[in-house]
Amino acid sequence: MIAARGLSVERGGRRILDGVDFAAHGGCLTALAGPNGAGKSTLLKALCGILPGLMKPDPRRVAYLAQDPRAAWGLTVEEVAFLGRIPHGDRKRGPVERALAEAGVAKLASQRINRLSGGEVRRAMLARVFATEPEVMLLDEPTADLDPRAAFAVMGLLRAAAGSGRTVVVVLHAIELALRYADRLVVLDRGRIVADAAPLAALPAAAAAFGLRFGEDKLPHLLPE
Amino acid sequence: MRFLVPLLGLLFIASLIIGAAGIGLPAPVIFWQLRVPRGLLALLVGGGLGASGAALQGALRNPLADPGLLGISGTAALGAAIAFYWGLAAAFAPALPLAGLLGAGVGAIALLVFAGHAPTGPSLILAGIGLSAAAAALLAFALALAPNPYALAELTFWLLGGVADRTLLDCALAAPPILLGIALLISVGPGLDALSLGEETAASLGIPTEKTLRRVALGTALAAGAAAAVAGGVGFVGLAVPNLLRPWFGERPAALLLPSVVAGAVLLLAADMLVRIGVLVLPLHAEPPLGVLTALLGAPLLVVIARRMGR
C-alpha cells in the first residue's frame, strides 16, 4: 500500500495540493481524475517522493511512470526494461524477461525505442516498471495519446497487475476507462479530494469538478475485444 | 572493445617507433624523453576527453555536448596563458602544466558555484557558457597585452594543442587528475542510464540526479581540465568519439563510457601519428599542431553523423 496524510505542496507560490489524505491498497486499481491543474500529477510525484523536501519511499517497492515517457537515446526495448533493475543494483535477466512478456513487448526486445509507435513505447515503459517488480505502481496518464485499442490493452495490463496483488494508482483523463477498469475513482479538484468511491458512485462529483453535466446518452461505444 | 584494445596497443607501439628521428627504435634518450611521454600523454588526454564527452552527453541527454562546453578547458588555457605571460613557463618548465591545472581547478570550483546547489542540465550548460566566455575574454586580454611577440607566438601555438615535446613530469602531473576523473565518470554509469528517461524518472529509480550531475561536472573538470592543462586546445575528441561509437556499442550512456576512453585514446594517438608522419612525408618545416588535425578530422566526421541523424 501507499499513503500520504495531510499532504500539502506549494510550487512557485501556488498551493497545488491542500491537505490531501490519500491511501491506496494492494489488489486495487485506483484511478485519479480531475480537471487540468487539479494536482493529480503532483499527488503522484509526491507519493513517489520525487518532489523536493518529501520523503522518498524505497525505489524497489514503488515504481513511477512519468506522463511523458520519452527516452533521450535510441535505447532498445530490452535496455529500457533493464533500467527497471537500477533500484535493485543488479542486471538479472529473469525479471526483465518476465516484464517484457507481461507488457507484451518480448518480440520488440531488440528494437530501438525511437523507432516504435506511441503505443509500443508506452508498453516498453511499462515493461521497465514491471521489471522493478514493485509493490506499488504509480502511473501518470499511461493511456495518453494512445488509440482506443492500445489504451484498452494498457488498462488490461494494469488490471492484471492489480489482480496479482499490486497497488496500482493511475492518473486518467479518460473517465470511461476509469469506469471500465478501475476499482476506485478518486476525484481531485483544486488541490483537494472531492470524491473517493467506486467509479460509478464518484461520477457525479467528477462531472461537477469538470463543470459538466452527469447523465446517460444512447451513443454507441467502442468496446474492448 | 575486442577491436579497439588491440588497435590501441598497436598504435602505442607505433608511437614509440615512429618519429622525427625516423622509423625504428630510437636512441634511449629520445625514447624515454620524447617518445614515451608523447605516447603516454596522447593516451591520457584522449582517454580523458573521450570519457568526458561520453559522460557529459549522457548527463545532458544531448549528442552535441563537448567537454569544452563546461568552460574548464578555457580556464585551464587561461592558467597556462598566464604562466606564459609572466614568463613563468620559460623560467620553470613545470609552471606551465601546473598553472593549467590551477586554472582548471579554479574553473571547476566556479562552475559548481555558478551552477548552484541543485544543478540541472540547462543550469550546468549556462554556467559553462558563462565560464567559457569569461575565460576567452581574459585569454584575449592576455594575448593583447603579451609582453613580446615571442611569448605571443608561443602561446598561440600552445593553444592549438599538442602532445609533442612534453616530459614524463607532464605525464605524472596530468595522470592523477585524468585517471581520477575517468574513474568518477565511469562510477556514475547507472545514473546516466537512468537519466536517459528524464530527471524525474531517474529520481524515482533512486538515482540522486543532482549528485550525478555534480559528479559528471567534477569528473569532466578533472579529466578534460587536466588534459587541456598539459595538451592545450585539443578539440573534437570528446564530441566526436561517443557519436562515432553509438552505431557499434548502442546508445545506452553507461555502455559507451569505457569504449569512449579507449576510442578517445585511439583517436588521439592516431591523429598524433598522422602529425608525425605528415612532417616526415610532406614538405612541412614543422609538425602541424595536433589540435588542428583533430579538428580537421572531426569536422567531416560530424557532418557524416549529422547526415545520419537527419534520417
What is the CATH T-level fold of the domain A1-61+138-145+169-212, as seen in this structure?
Answer: Rossmann fold (3.40.50)
3-class DSSP assignment, residue B161? coil
**Is A96 touching B (CB cutoff 8 A)?**
no
Q: What is the pLDDT of residue A191?
A: 92
**Per-residue pLDDT tens over the stretch A26-70:** 999 999 999 998 999 999 999 999 987 788 899 999 999 998 878
Instruction: Find chain B residues with C-beta within 8 A of A60's C-beta.
Output: 206
Q: What is the pLDDT of residue B310?
A: 60
Q: What is the pLDDT of residue B29?
A: 79
Q: What is the pLDDT of residue B52?
A: 96
For A92, A200, B24, B71, the CA distances from A212, given in Å and listed in that order, are 49, 15, 87, 55
Instruction: Find chain A residues with C-beta within 8 A of B201's C-beta.
Output: 64-66, 69
| Amino acid letter, residue A179 | L
Give yes or no for a contact between A205 and A187, defined as CB atoms under 8 angstroms apart: yes
Residue A72's pLDDT band, with cuts at 50, 70 and 90, is confident
Helical residues (DSSP H) of A112-147, grouped into ranges: 118-131
User: Is B122's pLDDT higher than 90?
Assistant: no
Q: Which of residues 112-131 of B touch A (CB under 8 A)?
A: 118
**Per-residue pLDDT tens over the stretch A88-143:** 999 999 999 999 998 989 999 999 998 898 888 999 999 999 999 999 999 999 99
End-to-end CA distance of chain B: 27
Residue B207's pLDDT band, with cuts at 50, 70 and 90, is very high
Instruction: Find chain A residues with C-beta within 8 A of B253's C-beta.
Output: 73
B250 → chain A, closest CA residue: A75
Instruction: Find chain A residues with C-beta within 8 A of B197's C-beta.
Output: 66, 69-72, 80, 83, 125, 128
Q: Which three cell numbers stand for residue A23?
A: 491511501
**Is B197 touching A (CB cutoff 8 A)?**
yes
* Among B44, B35, B41, residue whose Cα is nearest residue B17: B35
Q: How far apart are CA A70 and CA B217, in angstroms?
A: 24
Nearest to A73 among B205, B206, B251 (CB): B251
Select, from the ranges A194-198, B107-111, B289-293, the one with the highest average predicted confidence (pLDDT). A194-198
B197 contacts A50? CB cut-off 8 A: no
Q: What is the pLDDT of residue A189?
A: 93
User: Is A145's pLDDT higher than 80?
Assistant: no
The sign of the CA dihedral A120, A123, A125, A127 is negative
E-strand ranges in chain B read 18-19, 22-23
| B216 Cβ contact partners less than 8 Å away, ≥ 6 residues apart | B55, B56, B58, B59, B185, B188, B192
Helical residues (DSSP H) of B163-249, grouped into ranges: 168-187, 189-195, 199-204, 209-231, 237-249
Domain boundaries, chain A: 1-61+138-145+169-212
Q: Testing the interface with B: which of A2, A42, A73, A126 to mutate, by most B Cβ within 10 A?
A: A73
Instruction: Find chain A residues with C-beta within 8 A of B207's C-beta.
Output: 86
ipTM of the complex in this document: 0.91
A69 contacts B197? CB cut-off 8 A: yes
To the nearest whole Å, the CA of B118 is away from the closest chain A CA by 10
Q: Provide the 10 A C-beta neighbour count for residue A132.
A: 26
Question: DSSP state, A193?
Answer: E
Q: Testing the interface with B: which of A68, A83, A88, A121 to mutate, by most B Cβ within 10 A?
A: A83
Instruction: Find chain B residues with C-beta within 8 A of A76's C-beta.
Output: 250
Question: DSSP state, B33?
Answer: I
**Is A51 touching B (CB cutoff 8 A)?**
no
Residue B113's pLDDT band, with cuts at 50, 70 and 90, is confident
End-to-end CA distance of chain A: 31
* Among A26, A69, A62, residue whose Cα is nearest residue A44: A62
Question: DSSP state, A9?
Answer: E
Strands A184-189, A29-33: parallel, antiparallel or unpaired by DSSP? parallel
More confident residue, A151 or B149: A151
Q: Testing the interface with A: which of B120, B204, B245 to mutate, by most A Cβ within 10 A?
A: B204
Q: How far apart are CA A99 and CA A132, in angstroms?
A: 9
Instruction: Find chain B residues with C-beta within 8 A of A58's C-beta.
Output: 206
Give all domains of chain B, ordered by start, each with its CATH number. Answer: 56-258+283-310 (1.10.3470.10)
**Per-residue pLDDT tens over the stretch B222-241:** 999 999 988 888 888 999 89
E-strand ranges in chain A read 2-11, 14-24, 29-33, 62-65, 136-140, 167-171, 184-189, 192-197
Give yes or no for a contact between B99 and B230, defined as CB atoms under 8 angstroms apart: no
Mean pLDDT of B159-181: 88
Percent of chain A whose predicted confidence (pLDDT) is above 70: 100
Q: How far apart are CA B266 and CA B5, in angstroms?
A: 9
**Is A115 touching B (CB cutoff 8 A)?**
no
Helical residues (DSSP H) of A76-174, grouped into ranges: 77-83, 93-102, 118-131, 148-163
To the nearest whole Å, the CA of A89 is away from the closest chain B CA by 9
Give yes or no for a contact between A4 and A47, defined as CB atoms under 8 angstroms apart: yes
Helix (H) or strand (E) holding A214: none
Mean pLDDT of B287-292: 84
Q: What is the pLDDT of residue B311?
A: 57
User: Is B152's pLDDT higher than 80?
Assistant: no
Strands A184-189, A192-197: parallel, antiparallel or unpaired by DSSP? antiparallel
Select, from the ranges A8-22, B75-89, B284-298, the one with the highest average predicted confidence (pLDDT). A8-22
Mean pLDDT of B277-283: 80
B200 contacts A56? CB cut-off 8 A: no
A80 contacts B206? CB cut-off 8 A: no
